[in-house]
Amino acid sequence: MKVSVNWLRDYLPIELPANELAEKISRTTVEIEGQYQPQANMKNIVIAKVLSVEEHPDSDHMVITQVDAGEDEPIQIVTGAPNVAEGQTVILAKHNSIVGGGQKIKKGKLRGVVSNGMLAALQELGFDDKVSPKDFEDGIWVFNDVDAADLTPGENALHVLGMDDDVLETGITPNRADLFSMNGTAWEVAAILSEEPTLPTFELTETSEKTADLISATAPAELAPKYGLRVVKNVEVKDSPLWLQRRLWTMGIRPISNVVDVTNLMLLTYGQPLHAFDLDTLPSKDITVRTAKPAEKIKTLDGVEREASAEDIVIAAGDEALMFAGVMGGESTEVTAKTTNIVLEGAIFEPKAIRHAARDQNLHSEASTRFERGVNVEDTFTALDHAAALIAEIAGGEVTEGRVVAQDFDYEAPVVKVTTAHVNHVLGTEITEAEISAIFDRLFFDYELNDGEFTVTVPARRWDITIAADLVEEIARLYGYDNLPATLPTGETTPGKLTPKQALIRATRHDLEGLGLNQAISYVLTTPEKANNFKLHDGQPIQLDYPMSQDRQQTRGSLLTGLLDDVAYNVARKQADVALYEQGRVFVSNGDASVLPTEIEHVAGVITGNVLPRTWAAGAQKADFFALKGIVERLLANYAFADDIRFVPTTERAEMHPGRTADIYVGETLIGFVGQVHPVTAKTYKVNETYAFELNVDAIFDLPKVKDGYEVVSRFPAVARDLAILVDRDVPAADLRAAIVAAGGALLHDVELFDVYTGENVADDKKSLAYALTFVDVEKTLVDEDINAAVERITAALAEKFNAEIR
């Protein structure tokens, strides 16, 4: 809320400069989001009286005026303002003045006639369009006659307009709605400064006519726990006096008319929204607070016809709904210049219903903000009475006798207890009983102190305080957080350790980085099409109820969708070489919307372009299937699975190349896949030839691992043998290897495939493979006979199973 420091000074002495006050508030209460003087760097702007208005010889929309600015001679000003007239008291920006936006005003000629400055509109002095009074929208600002009588030509207009005030913008947290009023702010600033605030008072004079004879009201307590009306008769609706307008516009509220302005002044003073109806336009004198009927329509003050929903509270006269209670008034009973008799409403409405209506109608008003967050229940009828008294004073009306009260309750002050020991236990301080007493005194809280226990009676203005922890906060912030020492927790120590799965996930990330992939973090939410791509699990993605955009409406079923979006982003920016991995979760619906989906930890990677760049020493290494498979194999080897890892060709993955994709199994468990992204899918994602893998990390974690231990390194030298074979081209290398290992016996230590050849000297349907076999015996030096026997077993097995020809 905008807070006028001048207004605060009405309540308590403030000697501090505004910036120091702002600092104290932000360190003790709430953040100060802005601090400024409306006049900014404006200068040389004075009150002037228009002495004469003459036609401009060369312009039909401009006139020549002579104005009295308190100097010896009148000043000639040429203006295009359509509303300028002789006798007006106006604002003059003199020669060499600075107006809003830092604009400099100098004398000059307008169509050949000298003008020594500018007659100003409020907007030209930096007033927001939403705050400047509507009557002067298209012309200069003119003071009304009553106000003008107090003004002297030549006096500083910026001061007259209240623009030399300091304004603090408080960032009010949901718990401190008491600061949505000047009274609440005054109590708080008083506590900060150890002062006592003097709050406004008023005197109400009533006529003998009974309000109850003019109007009646009914309100159920569950909708309006407080509801009261007053009537003021024979008012003259006109502009408010300057002091009132000044107060409102400094606080960011547009002056409208004296009656409406008074209700707004009360809103700012007490934080209590009030509403004024035109008594004579009410369709009935029986006012009812009720929920809206089906399809009930109300035309609100902003001229929009709105349909209420069943939860909305409306104020009705007879059968007709007039307004959204606590949110916005209705056009049909609006106070206008013709209004003479008014009904003032002071009430408390159910916050949830107000919140619902404000959201539903997208009408977040000053009133709804306050009703949603709460008001001081002791001030509701005080504000109502104060408004009636003030309207009678400035609009010349008469207040009828008594309030019509449909609903009321007495404030029962909560009693909250807190001990000095508890305060120090929570804060880790050694604050004394006397210090706590002093803090409660500064807050003007009533309390009793018995044996170290404070029993605090919470005033209605601080409805946020209900439990001891709230009092601890009051004490802490006024004691000052800077006075808290800084220590680390003591007590029983606890081991800090990653869980085995967290450790495995970290190791996975570090491995992939070591293998050349950069970590990406992509968006989880994606399109319905992409959410179903590359899935390793059956089951649907999760659809948001009310997404922000088409692109972000379902949870991903695979990490590759995001990674391919990343690749596309890079490729579109001429980054052709991309190697990325991502670690995170995929989401699988359990088919029942009331049950949380299953979240599965995955890791995935993509490569495209070159994995190693061309250098002077070697050509580029292109991203291809085997480059990525090598990375995956290295990663998988590090997990030390107890069971064998198998790459099984698959044509089943729709988004993957049917001839270049393998499902990855450990034992009989499918843990993922690796391959080339299908060219059609690649085109959809706008990426080039890209290779991808995705692994289920939860499955990897659950699989049995090699038990801790080690294999003895042989003292005897290993013996190498090469073996070249010719087989049919479609025999999978994995099958050949498995046969070699199976036949090789205990001495066969390692099998390395070092050449695969097709082409010249090899029949078209054949391929030649060359293996380096390594034999090791941990117990003795190997002899040729042992090795020969093993090699013979291998060749025999290959010949038998694969019709292999030994070369």
The span from the CA of 347 to the CA of 352, in Å, is 15
Q: Is 581 in the site for other proteins (CB under 8 A)?
A: yes
Residues 492-521 that bind other proteins (CB under 8 A): 492-499, 502, 506, 509-510, 512-521
Q: Of 378-386, 583-591, 761-769, 784-792, which segment contacts other proteins by CB under 8 A?
A: 583-591
For the four alpha carbons of 274, 276, 282 and 285, in that order, the dihedral sign comes to positive
* The amino acid at 170: T
What's the min distance (Å) between Cβ of 168 and other proteins?
A: 15
Give every CB contact of residue 26 below 8 A, 6+ residues apart in sequence: 32
In terms of Cα–Cα distance, which of 111, 349, 100 is closest to 222?
349
**Residue 236 annotated in ligand binding:** no
Q: Is 355 in the site for other proteins (CB under 8 A)?
A: yes
- Binding residue for other proteins, selected from 550, 594, 711, 785, defined by CB under 8 A: 594
- Binding residue for other proteins, selected from 201, 208, 450, 490, defined by CB under 8 A: 490
What's the min distance (Å) between Cβ of 526 and other proteins?
A: 11
Residue 449 pairs in a beta bridge with 454
The span from the CA of 648 to the CA of 42, in Å, is 79
Q: Is 373 in the site for other proteins (CB under 8 A)?
A: yes
- Binding residue for other proteins, selected from 6, 26, 216, 340, defined by CB under 8 A: 26
The span from the CA of 631 to the CA of 623, in Å, is 11
For the four alpha carbons of 112, 116, 122 and 123, in that order, the dihedral sign comes to positive
Of residues 520 and 636, the one with the C-beta less far from other proteins: 520
Q: Contact, 358 vs 327, CB < 8 A?
A: yes
- Binding residue for other proteins, selected from 1, 3, 14, 29, defined by CB under 8 A: 29
Of residues 172 and 392, the one with the C-beta less far from other proteins: 172
**Residue 166 annotated in ligand binding:** no
- Binding residue for other proteins, selected from 304, 310, 484, 763, defined by CB under 8 A: 484
**Residue 722 annotated in ligand binding:** no
Cβ–Cβ contacts within 10 Å for residue 170, how many? Answer: 22
The span from the CA of 263 to the CA of 134, in Å, is 18
- Binding residue for other proteins, selected from 599, 643, 698, 786, defined by CB under 8 A: 599
The span from the CA of 348 to the CA of 330, in Å, is 18
Residues 758-797 that bind other proteins (CB under 8 A): none
- Binding residues with other proteins: total (CB under 8 A): 100
Q: Of 109-117, 313-321, 605-613, 665-673, which segment contacts other proteins by CB under 8 A?
A: 605-613
Q: Is 164 in the site for other proteins (CB under 8 A)?
A: no
- Binding residue for other proteins, selected from 569, 625, 757, 802, defined by CB under 8 A: 569
Cβ–Cβ contacts within 10 Å for residue 440, how many? Answer: 20
Tokens of 509: 């990330």
Q: Of 49-57, 203-211, 569-577, 747-755, which segment contacts other proteins by CB under 8 A?
A: 569-577
Residues 682-701 that bind other proteins (CB under 8 A): none
Q: Is 585 in the site for other proteins (CB under 8 A)?
A: yes
In three state form, how does the secondary structure of 581-647 look? EEEEEEEECCCCCCCCCEEEEEEEEEEECEEECCCCCCCCEECCHHHHHHHHHHHHHHHCECCCEEE
In terms of Cα–Cα distance, which of 250, 371, 318 is closest to 3?
250
Q: Is 616 in the site for other proteins (CB under 8 A)?
A: yes
Residues 387-416 that bind other proteins (CB under 8 A): none
By CB atoms closer than 10 A (0-12, 13-18, 19+), residue 177 is buried
- Binding residue for other proteins, selected from 146, 304, 596, 783, defined by CB under 8 A: 596
Of residues 52 and 621, the one with the C-beta less far from other proteins: 621
Q: Of 160-168, 435-443, 585-593, 725-733, which segment contacts other proteins by CB under 8 A?
A: 585-593
- Binding residue for other proteins, selected from 348, 427, 439, 682, defined by CB under 8 A: 427
The span from the CA of 585 to the CA of 601, in Å, is 4
The span from the CA of 701 to the CA of 103, in Å, is 69
- Binding residue for other proteins, selected from 49, 176, 275, 461, defined by CB under 8 A: 176
Q: Of 1-9, 134-142, 351-359, 798-806, which segment contacts other proteins by CB under 8 A?
A: 351-359
In terms of Cα–Cα distance, which of 126, 168, 163, 165 is closest to 34?
168
Q: Is 612 in the site for other proteins (CB under 8 A)?
A: yes
The span from the CA of 200 to the CA of 96, in Å, is 41
By CB atoms closer than 10 A (0-12, 13-18, 19+), residue 412 is exposed
- Binding residue for other proteins, selected from 410, 482, 668, 785, defined by CB under 8 A: 482
- Binding residue for other proteins, selected from 149, 295, 337, 617, defined by CB under 8 A: 617
By CB atoms closer than 10 A (0-12, 13-18, 19+), residue 600 is middle
Contact code string over 437-476 relative to other proteins, x by CB under 8 A: ------------------------------x-xx-xx--x
Of residues 398 and 601, the one with the C-beta less far from other proteins: 601
Q: Contact, 424 vs 433, CB < 8 A?
A: no
**Residue 55 annotated in ligand binding:** no
Q: Which residues are annotated binding-site positions?
A: 464, 470, 473-474
Q: Which residues are annotated binding-site positions for Mg(2+)?
A: 464, 470, 473-474
